[in-house]
Amino acid sequence: MGGLYFDIAHLFAGGLVLISFILLYQDRLYALLNVFALQAFVLALSVAWQAYVQDAPHLYITAGITIAFKAVAIPVALHRMVARLGVHREVETVVRLVPTMLAGIALVALSMVVMLRVTGGADPLAREDLAFALSVVLLGLLMMVTRSNAVSQVVGFMSLENGLILAATGAKGMPLVVEISVAFSILIALIVIGIFLFRIRERFDSVDLQVLDDYRGEAR
């Protein structure tokens, strides 16, 4: 396995982390969804590259599923939801952007330190992959914590899941059946969340989770 294979895998994985930062930065919902689709597309490329490098044809199926569901179906569904909810103009930030970005950088540094140290003797490709994957997971969580709009929380959740897929494909040997069931459970989660979004909206005239807290009498 030459340097080129490694570099390209590195490029895609690093690209995912970069896109996670873009996600973190976007405060407009439509733009957020587009970036999310882009992230899923890059993930699919990365998975396909791994399939080629590891000579594991079933990973092509994983890549296909990623493109079909994450890059197309889910963003489109979320687009339509945002349009129907009429929240596309909303700007939502709970924590200001600059501290969020700084926290994100710290998280990436942390995951690099942890992963590179812990996986001392492993295959360098897997090591880098795992480190990037952990960064994507942490950034996804950070996004869920810092946003109050339900749609952007969903996006944070989905991008967290992208990180998991990246880790799994890099580690060699995740069974296909696991990947497929994860993909479907994500889809079902989307449906459930979608239904909840509309219910919340019906009840409170907003999808801002702050309203839920206010309703419970938790003044902030």
Partner 1 sequence: MPLPGYLIGVAALLVLALTALLPRRIRSGTVVIYGGSLVVTAVLFAAAAWHLLANAAGLSLSLPLGVPWLGANFRLDALSAFILVVIDFGAAAASYYALGYGRHEHEPMRVLPFYPVFLAAMNLVVLADDAFAFLLSWEMMSLASWALVMSHHQVPGNARAGYVYIVMASIGTFALLMAFGLMAGDIGDYTFAAMRAHASERTATGVVLALALFGAGSKAGLAPFHVWLPLAHPAAPSHVSALMSGVMTKVAVYGFLRIVFDLLGTPVWWWGIPVLATGAVTAVIGALLGLMQNDLKRVLAYSTIENIGVIFIALGLALGFQSHGYSAAAALALTAALFHVLNHSLFKSLLFFGSGALLTATGERNMARLGGLLNRMPMTGLFMLVGCVAISALPPFNGFVSEWLAFQAILLSPVLSSWALKLMIPAVGAMLALAAALAGAAYVRVFGIAFLGRPRSDAATNATEVDRFSVTAMAALGILCLAAGVFPGVVIDALEPLVRQLLGTAMAHQSQLGWLAIAPIAESRSSYDGLLVFLFITTSALLAAVIIHRFASDQTRIAPPWDCGFPQNDPATQYTPESFAQPVRRVFSGFGFAASEAVDMPRPGDLRPAHFELKLKDLIWDYGYQPVVNTVFGIADALNRLQFLTIRQYLSLVFAALVFLLLALAIWT
Sole binder of partner 1 in the list 81, 142, 151, 197 (CB under 8 A):
142
Please, which residue, 71 or 150, has the CB nearer to partner 1?
A: 150
Instruction: Tell whether residue 131 is a contact of partner 1 (CB under 8 A).
Output: no
Instruction: Tell whether residue 192 is a contact of partner 1 (CB under 8 A).
Output: no
In the bound complex, what is the minimum distance in angstroms from residue 74's beta carbon to partner 1? 20
Burial code (b: 16+ CB inside 10 Å, e: under 16) for 167-200 equals bbbbeeebeeeebeebbeebbeebeebbeebeeb
**Which residues, 6+ apart, have CB-to-CB distance to 15 below 8 Å?**
42, 46
User: Residue 170's Cα: distance from chain center in Å?
Assistant: 16
Instruction: Tell whether residue 110 is a contact of partner 1 (CB under 8 A).
Output: yes
Amino acid at 4: L
Burial class (CB in 10 A: 0-12, 13-18, 19+), 141: middle
Sole binder of partner 1 in the list 111, 135, 152, 162 (CB under 8 A):
111
Instruction: Tell whether residue 122 is a contact of partner 1 (CB under 8 A).
Output: no
Residues in contact with partner 1 by CB under 8 A are: 94, 107, 110-111, 113-114, 117-118, 138, 141-142, 144-145, 148, 209, 212-213, 216, 218, 220
